[in-house]
Every structure is written in structure tokens, then in C-alpha cells.
Structure 1
Amino acid sequence: MAVSGRHAVHRTMVLVDVERFSAPGRTLHHQLDTRAGLYAVVAEAMAAAGVPWEDCHHEDRGDGLFLLIPPEFPKAPLVEVLPEALARAVRGHNGTSHDAARVRLRLAVHAGEVAFDQRGATSTALTDAFRLLDAAALKQALAGSPGVLAMIVSRLVFDDVVRHCATLDPATFRPVQAAAKEFRELAWIALPDHPYPADPTVLTPRSPDTPAPETASADHVATGPASGPEAHARYDGPGPRGVHIAGDVQGSGPGITIGAATGDHLTIGTPPPPAQPPHNPR
């Protein structure tokens, strides 16, 4: 239930978006069926997590929706139960739907202060939640998964909830530096119905002075040692900071050029020899 007024109140935020809602093969009729299916599967999954639909503030976003859950409902079921229930409900929907009405979903979970007025809800925290939902790394994670759901949680939710879950392995999440417009934040991605292998090294505590992982280009999921034309250097402790190299590494001998495929060039080589004094024949 929404509360109007000038003061913000705490809410857990659940945002869901349909992958490729505007795909060419999805006609208006299919979009309507897709939206009906979206609402049905989200309501089913919320009920499985113990959160009645009617107790939440919810708003439509055309190709998605978001819900604001009152603070009396615990957050843990929203990362322990909701994702698997949502994936299960999606598979049920897809099994009885036309190919063009089948869905795969992105899910974001965040929490923070929200203000309400006659038109709906707003806050910086809610804007941040939408930035997480739209993160390129989340889209890439879903595109590369055989499952039907990819989830991203904010650093706050991961640190305060996921790390302490009894039935969820936080080592199956992967850190990502989500970047969109002015938004730059560390977040965590999971594939609930096709999880990443457990990797306890991603949970290594960082010192207070250690910056969050950064990327030189788009937001990036750190999944382990790199191979091929892209290399990752992770910064997990004191000492020199690592870098993220995107693009080809070209050249040999005294210097190499990084990022030649992207147009952003950085050449690393041996420094030029010191200038010699002019020859002064006697």
C-alpha cells in the first residue's frame, strides 16, 4: 500500500523486465499475451515468497513492472525463493504459449527510501534500481544463459541479505561494476535456474581502502581468469590497481597496442632512450 506525503519510507524494490519485448516477431497480439503472462508469473512467484500482491505498490512499465514491498516482509525470501519460483512460473508460461509470447526475464532487487505522490513513486534509490535492471552485464548474462532468468542485486542487498542466506550460496553470484549514465555501482549477478559454478574467491573481503572493480569500457562481470582476446585484471587487495583490457592486443617487440579493435588505443612499450648531447667536435 502506497503512503503519500513528503517523507520517504523504506521499501524493498523488485523490478522485472522482458528480454527483447519489441522483437520483430512479437506482434501486438503476442505483446498483450506476453504482458498477461508477465503479471501472472510475477504474482505467482511473489506469493511463493510469502508476499501478497495486494500488499505491494506496483507500477507498469510496458515491457516490465516493478513492485515496492513494505518493510514488514523480510528480504531473504525475495532472493532465496522468488527467483526460483519466478523461473519455474516462466517455464510453465512458455510451455503453453505461442513462441512469440514466450519470455525470458531480467530481475533486479534493491532496497532504499522511496517517496510517494498522487502519480506514483520516486527516489534516487528507485532510479538506481532501474539502472541495475538495465545494466549491460545483466543483459549479457541472460543472453549467454540457457535459462529463462538473470538476477542482479545491489551491493546493499548482497552484503546485508545474500551473504547471510541459509539456503542460497553467495559464491554462485558474480560481481559486476554496473554503469549507466551517471550511475556507477558494484552489484552482483546470479542465474537462478542455471547458476554459475560456486567460486568462494569472489567473496574475498576487500579492505576499506580498496576501490570497487572497474572497467575501461562497459560494465563487466568478473567470472574468473580471462582467455582469448579479452583479459581481466582484478584488484583484490593492496598494491597497484589492475586494469580491464578490452579489444585485441597487437604488436610485438618494444611495444604493443591495446584496444585496437575498439578504437580506444593505448600503446605500451619501452621508453625512448635519453636524448644524447649534441656532438661537439674539437
Structure 2
Amino acid sequence: MDVTGRSESPPVRSTTVVTPDSHQYFIVLVDIEDYSPRPDAVQVALHDAVHEVTTFALVQRAGVTPSGHRFTDRGDGMLVLLPPTVSPTLLLREMVRGLDDALVEHNQKHAPDYRMRLRVGLHHGPVVRKGKLWTGSAVNDLARLVDADPVRKVLKAAKRAHFTLVLPEALHEATVRGRFPGIDPAAYLPFDFVTKHQEERRGWITVPGYAAPPGLARPGEPGTKGTGRRGGGRGPDTPGGPDGDDGAGDDGAGGEGAAPPAVPARDVLPGGLASPPHARNGRGEAGDLHVRVEGGDYVAGAKVGGDQVHGDKRITVHAKGPVRL
């Protein structure tokens, strides 16, 4: 008590919050479509099933050791952290096919109320782990991608699909555009969206079993939002811009519901061939040649099979140089 008779307040002690160091991980985010409207008992069953399906795809198919991945529940799905030593191209091949196979088996065994379809995202970046709390911009960015409205709409349009897979642009650039065996660049299309904080973002989406995501137009098509670089169309800063140097991903067909091309389908051309004259327009300029892939895609001169490479494709035909898918 001071000389005035008032009680002295205890001194305020400053505390320093020590944040754990971040570590690099591959991040897999899985969300169940239409989870919340279902009865509680169904939600419990789906909660168990999504763990089984995801674990099968990662451990049995992608070869990730049981101790090599960590997961946390998200109510309507799960978040998985994988070590940075895991191959991203292996995940895009084997994890994807494993998920598809496991979902087919699950949905064949169960009544409609207990069937599930998923929105799945893959990312890579630093994550801070503090107990069951996992934070980091990579986790937040992936959650926004998986929850984006274009992703929900694509899955709704893909009636026979079991899930969609979304990637951030940087991971798509580092993996899909590399044309690794078993990964079909034409099966991916870009989509743009705006976050609740009014941030413009771009992701890439594929639907296993479809030549390209249904309901999502090719980049640059007029009157369609969410498929071109901000504001529509392809600009100089867009991969595959005016120089026509890239055909990966951007040249996939629009999937179910897309308008058929005006040119007849023909067999796919292996990489390395010069542009044929009949694939050019009346002025002798390079144009688009529509093809139907029956037995797999030619990627970098090698034929690659797989369930994601069949169906209608659109390839860019250049006036000079190789034909690229």
C-alpha cells in the first residue's frame, strides 16, 4: 500500500511465446462431399472409412511407411503430413490410383447413404506442429484450394467420378508439367478463385477417369470464369502464352458437357513429329488438332498407359517443331 492508502497493482510480467520451428512436409487434405447433411451415425461411419481409404492409398499403393505419415482429424475429412523425401510424382500416380480403387470398393459395398466422394488436395511447404495443432500458410492455402467453389462444381458435374484432385500452381509446375510417366498433363485444367480475404488464387484440378475436368472450360474460352489468367485469356506471363511453347495441362478438353470440336477425331501423334500441313488452318498457320487417345498418351516420345489418359484430347500443333500434348 502506498502513502495514499491505495493498494498497489502487481507488476505486469512480460512472457515470450516460443514458437516451434517449422519443417517441410508434403500435405494431403481430404474432404468428404456432402458430409454435414448426413445423420450422425452415417458421419461416424464415413469418418472411419475416409481414414481407411486414405491409409490404403498412401501405405499400400504409394509405399509410405505407416510410421512415415502423421494425420489429424478434420471432422469431414483428414489432414496428412508426409516427409519431404516422398516422391510427389509417385503420389500423383500411385496415391491417386489407390484412392480411386479404394473408393470404388467402398462404394460398391455400401448403400447410397454410406457412399462417399472426396475432394483431395496435395501441397508442399513448411508446417509448424504443436501437438495436434498444425499451422502454416501451406496448410491454409491448401484448405482454400480444396474448398474453392470451382472444385465443388467440378465434382458435382463429374457424376461417375469418385474424387477430384487439386494442386497449387507451384506444385503443378514442378510435377505435372515435367511429363513424368503415368501423369497426363492434359487431364489437368487451371481454375481461378478469390478467397474470403479477396486474394486472387489459381489452382489446377484433375478428375481421375475423365479426359479433363467436366464443367471447366479450356483457358481463354470467352464467357467462362475461373479458367483463364486473372481477367480471362492468356497473357505473356502465362505458361504457354503467345509463343505456344507449352501445351501441358492447358490443352485438355472441357470434359463432359463441353462443345465438341469442329474437326474430326484422329489418332494421336507421338512426340517428335513435325506439324503436319493438314493440321494447320487455311493460312498455313499452326492451330489445334483434336485427337482421341485410345491406348494411352505419348509423353516425351514414350507411350504411357493409365486410366487418366483415355478420351478426347486437344493438342497444340505448332508451325515448326514437335507436336506436343
TM-score, normalising length: structure 2: 0.60
Residues 187 and 210 of structure 2 are in contact (CA less than 8 Å); yes or no, is this contact kept in structure 1? no
Q: Which stretch has the larger CA shift, 14-23 or 119-128?
A: 119-128
Question: Cα RMSD between the aligned structures?
Answer: 2.3
Among residues 131, 134, 137, which one is paired with 1:121 in the alignment?
134
1:152 aligns with 2:150: no
Instruction: Please state how far the C-alpha of 1:221 moved relative to its aligned partner.
Output: 4.4
For structure 1, list consecutive stretches of 5 or more residues without a partner in the other structure. Answer: 198-219, 240-282
Q: Which runs of 4+ in 1 moved over 2 A?
A: 220-227, 230-235
Write the mapping of 1:76-95 to structure 2, written as runs, cut at 5 A. 76-95=89-108
Give, in angstroms, the shift of residue 129 of structure 1: 0.8
Partner in structure 2 of residue 34 of structure 1:
46
Aligned pairs (5 A) from 1:218-233:
221-223=216-218, 226=221, 230-231=223-224
Kept in 2: contact 1:110–1:157 (CA 8 A): yes
Q: Where does residue 195 of structure 1 map in the other structure?
A: 211
Identity of aligned residues (%): 26
In the other structure, the counterpart of 2:292 is: none
Which residue number in structure 1 is paired with residue 72 of structure 2? 59
Aligned to 1:245: none
> C-alpha distance in 1, partners of 2:149/2:192?
10
- Write out aligned runs for 1:1-282 (5 A): 6-23=20-37, 26-47=38-59, 48-145=61-158, 146-164=160-178, 165-182=180-197, 183-196=199-212, 221-223=216-218, 226=221, 230-231=223-224, 234-238=232-236
Inter-partner Cα distance in structure 2 for 1:231 and 1:174: 13
> 1:222 Cα deviation (Å)?
4.0
Indicate how the Cα distance of structure 1 residues 231 and 43 shifts in structure 2: closer, same or farther if over 3 A, else same.
Answer: closer
Distance 1:28 1:78 in 2: 32
State whether residues 69 and 80 of structure 2, in contact with CA within 8 Å, keep that contact through their aligned partners in structure 1.
yes
- Write the deviation string for residues 93-138 of structure 1: whole angstroms up to 9, x where unpaired: 0111121110000000111111111232111111111001101111
Aligned residues: 210
Q: Distance in 2 between matches of 1:30 and 1:223?
A: 38
Aligned partners of 2:220 and 2:87: how far apart in 1?
36
Output the amino acid matched with 2:85. E
Q: 1:113 to 1:97 in 2, by over 3 A?
A: same
Q: Which has the higher contact order (CA 8 A, sep 6+)?
A: 1
